[in-house]
Structure 1
Amino acid sequence: MRSQIEGSQAVARAVTLCRPQVIAAYPISPQTHIVESLSDRVRTGELAGCEYMLVESEFGAMSACIGASAAGVRTYTATSSQGLLFMAEALFNASGIGLPIVMTVANRAIGAPINIWNDHSDAMAMRDSGWIQLFAESNQEALDLHVQAFRVAESLSVPVMVCMDGFILTHAFEEVDLPDQEQVDAFLAPFVPQQQLDPDEPVTIGAMVGPEAFAEVKYLMHAKQMTALDEIPEIAADFRRAFGRDSGGLLKTYRLDDAETVVVALGSVLGTIEDVVDSMRDAGVRIGVLGVTCFRPWPAAEVRAALAHATRVVVVEKAFAVGAGGIVGQNTRDATRDLPLVVLDVVAGLGGRPVTRASLRGLLDDVVGDRLDPTRLHFLDLDLALVERELERSRHGRRPGPHAEHMLRDLGTVASGAFD
């Protein structure tokens, strides 16, 4: 059934159709509409047989999910930004034990300074936590990825986070194709846990492990992620046969066949990039797009194969490693090592800054014209004059004070008041 619906409501509908038995939630913008909607669905009986737990924090939410999943029930939560970081200790516990929890991450910037708008800093900060990370380009894909995420998680007994851009997707109204309960039930079998706490057969889950076996446990976590590189495409193929549309998988390609220049990106920015690529194709430029749906595990072989015929690659990403450089860019560089191509890193859209077609067109014209230094990290639409004024202030001030407040004053604005 096709419906014009908010992205958060579409995800809540998808989760409802997957029949979770425990939802533990703590509200934080911009994921709050998801868990509010699920609360209503539990209250009204639309989501029957589910215990909804409103906990005291995001750490409590993930801890409750760990307990519920270990007890053998299908489990779900959602969070964003600082909430994801508050879960950090528990995230590693969930993956270390191998619990098939599904979580929505409504991607949002990490403070300080406080910022509630979209970038990918939160998910990237947790990229090595042992969770599978799937990134949605659209609300339709966000909906579809949740249905697939439960199957991936339960097939491999690993936790999965589905990342969707905060506000850009969560609060946007788009037409989506909502599946019915019979379709989802046919695709997603009832949950049968691979490990389960049982008073009649007591075991310890998450026990102390010393040097004699810790490396082996970590190796098996890695092995499961590598297995997911085969499992995720198979589940995406099953989804296509069942629902009649392509969604999920590891990568998506756009006008890539003869592309000399390729743009690599994750999330909703792919739609804008594709529009710019269309206009450049009309002008005769051989350029294409490689969208990364599965960031963890990193599909290195598939990325390498997709980029094998390119001469230059520009990675546009909404996060970076401070003091090091691009995150997706470095993964892409590792995957294409020894190939005769140049990989450039461009950071864009931090803290919700718009990534416009005009800015992208200027960037890609520079890339195609070989006018960007591949040894440098580049920032799209960076106000260099504003940065230089603050650097100058720091050089000459004995106590220069907080950068953010100085730059806001230079811009003639004040700090935005926003609360979770």
Structure 2
Amino acid sequence: MKKQIEGSRAVAESVALCRPDVICAYPISPQTHIVEGLGELVKSGELSPCEFLNVESEFAAMSVAIGSSATGGRTYTATASQGLLFMVEAVYNASGLGLPIVMTVANRAIGAPINIWNDHSDSMSQRDCGWIQLFAESNQEALDLHIQAFRLAEEMSMPVMVCMDGFILTHAYEQVDMPDQTQVDAFLPPYEPRQVLDPDDPVSIGAMVGPEAFMEVRYLAHAKQLMALARIPEIAAEFEQIFGRNAGGLVRPHRVEDAETIVVALGSVIGTLQEVVDTMRDQGEKIGLLSIRAFRPFPLAEVRAALGGAKRVVVLEKSFSVGLGGVVSTDVRLALSGIQLHGYTVVAGLGGRAITQDSLLRVLGEAIEDKLEALTFLDLDWDIVNRHLAREAETRRSGPIAENLLRDLGVVGAKVY
């Protein structure tokens, strides 16, 4: 059924259709509307039976999710930014125990300074935690991916993050095609846990493991991620058969067949990039776009196959590794090992900064001419950066960085140290 609906509400209704047994809720922007929506559905009886638990922190949310999943309940939670960092110990426990928890990460920048707007710093910080990470381009894909996530998590017995851009998607009203309960039930079977805590058959879960077996435990987590590389596209194909639309998978190419320059990205910026690529195609440029749908496990073979014939690759990413450069581009570079081409990393949109078509046309034009720096920060204000570096060189007590930059911009009125 077609609906004009907020992205968060669309995800809430999608999760409800998956019949979760337990929802652990702690509010943090920009995911709050998701768990609020689910709370309303539980309270009204539309989602029943389901236990909705208001907890005292994000760490508690994941801890409750672990207990719920370990006792055989289909379990869901959501978080963002500092909330994801607060639950990190439990996030690692969930994957180490092989528990099929589904969690929405409404992508948001990590402080300090405090910033509530979108980039991918939060989920990228957890790229090695053992969770599958799926990225949504649109609200339609976000709601579709949650249905697939429960299927994938429970088949593989491993947790899944569905990552959607905070505010850009979570708070945007778009038309979506909401499936009915019959369709979801046909796609997602009742939950049958691989391991379960049962008072009639007691076992220990998460016991101490020494050097004699810890490496093997970690390898098995890796092996399951590799198995997921095969299962993710299969589940996406089954989803398309039942629901009539393509969503998810590992990668999605756009006009890459004869492209000499290919842009790689993930998340909501894909829509803008498609328009930019189409504009540049109309101008005679041989350019294409590769959207990464599954960041973990990373689809090395699929990325290599899509990019191997290009002359240059531009990775546009909304996060970066301080002191090194690109996060996604490091994985792309690994996929292209041994292939000689020009590679560029463009960091964009940090802290919610707009990524405009004009800026993309400019930076991609420079890449096509091979005039782009290997690591470029899109629309970085070099004047205020250099002003602060000069200030630090002049005096030891140069003052707080973020506040000084705001004063330089005239955003706050106060003395510059």
Q: TM-score interval w.r.t. the shorter chain?
A: over 0.9
SS of 2:242 mapped into structure 1? helix
**Deviation of 1:344 (Å):** 0.7
SS of 1:155 mapped into structure 2? helix
Q: Which runs of structure 2 are paired with 1:5-404 in the superposition (5 Å)?
A: 5-374=5-374, 377-404=375-402
2:382 and 2:373 map into 1 onto residues whose CA distance is: 17
Structure 2 match to 1:418: none
The aligned amino acid for 1:159 is P
SS of 1:220 mapped into structure 2? helix
1:184 and 1:328 map into 2 onto residues whose CA distance is: 33
The aligned amino acid for 2:203 is V
Structure 2 match to 1:410: 408
**Deviation of 1:200 (Å):** 0.9
1:112-134 CA-to-partner distances (Å, cap 9, x unmatched) read 00000000000001111000000
**Deviation of 1:401 (Å):** 1.4
Name structure 1 gaps, 5 residues minimum.
Answer: 416-420
What TM-score comes out, normalization by structure 1 length?
0.98
SS of 2:310 mapped into structure 1? coil
What TM-score comes out, normalization by structure 2 length?
0.98
1:3 and 1:238 map into 2 onto residues whose CA distance is: 23
SS of 2:122 mapped into structure 1? helix
The aligned amino acid for 2:8 is S
**Deviation of 1:340 (Å):** 2.1
1:287-313 CA-to-partner distances (Å, cap 9, x unmatched) read 000000100001101100111111100
1:207 and 1:53 map into 2 onto residues whose CA distance is: 26
1:87 and 1:341 map into 2 onto residues whose CA distance is: 40
The aligned amino acid for 1:10 is A
The aligned amino acid for 2:348 is A
The aligned amino acid for 1:74 is R
- Which segments of structure 1 move beyond 3 Å, counting only runs of 4 or more? none
**Deviation of 1:410 (Å):** 0.6
SS of 1:84 mapped into structure 2? helix
1:186 and 1:285 map into 2 onto residues whose CA distance is: 45
1:42 and 1:315 map into 2 onto residues whose CA distance is: 42
**Deviation of 1:88 (Å):** 0.2
Name structure 2 gaps, 5 residues minimum.
Answer: none
1:398 and 1:185 map into 2 onto residues whose CA distance is: 64
1:109 and 1:345 map into 2 onto residues whose CA distance is: 19
SS of 2:193 mapped into structure 1? coil
Provide the aligned C-alpha RMSD in A.
0.7
**Deviation of 1:324 (Å):** 1.1
**Deviation of 1:62 (Å):** 0.2
1:146 and 1:134 map into 2 onto residues whose CA distance is: 9
The aligned amino acid for 2:206 is G
2:403 and 2:202 map into 1 onto residues whose CA distance is: 56
SS of 1:3 mapped into structure 2? strand
**Deviation of 1:413 (Å):** 0.5
1:39-92 CA-to-partner distances (Å, cap 9, x unmatched) read 000000000010000000000000000000000110000000000000100000
The aligned amino acid for 1:259 is A
SS of 1:345 mapped into structure 2? strand
2:396 and 2:364 map into 1 onto residues whose CA distance is: 41
SS of 1:112 mapped into structure 2? coil
2:242 and 2:73 map into 1 onto residues whose CA distance is: 25
The aligned amino acid for 2:150 is F
The aligned amino acid for 1:157 is S
**Deviation of 1:3 (Å):** 0.8
2:254 and 2:321 map into 1 onto residues whose CA distance is: 27
2:246 and 2:396 map into 1 onto residues whose CA distance is: 58
Report how many aligned residue pairs link the two structures. 413
The aligned amino acid for 2:286 is R
1:399 and 1:114 map into 2 onto residues whose CA distance is: 22
**Deviation of 1:201 (Å):** 0.8
The aligned amino acid for 2:208 is M
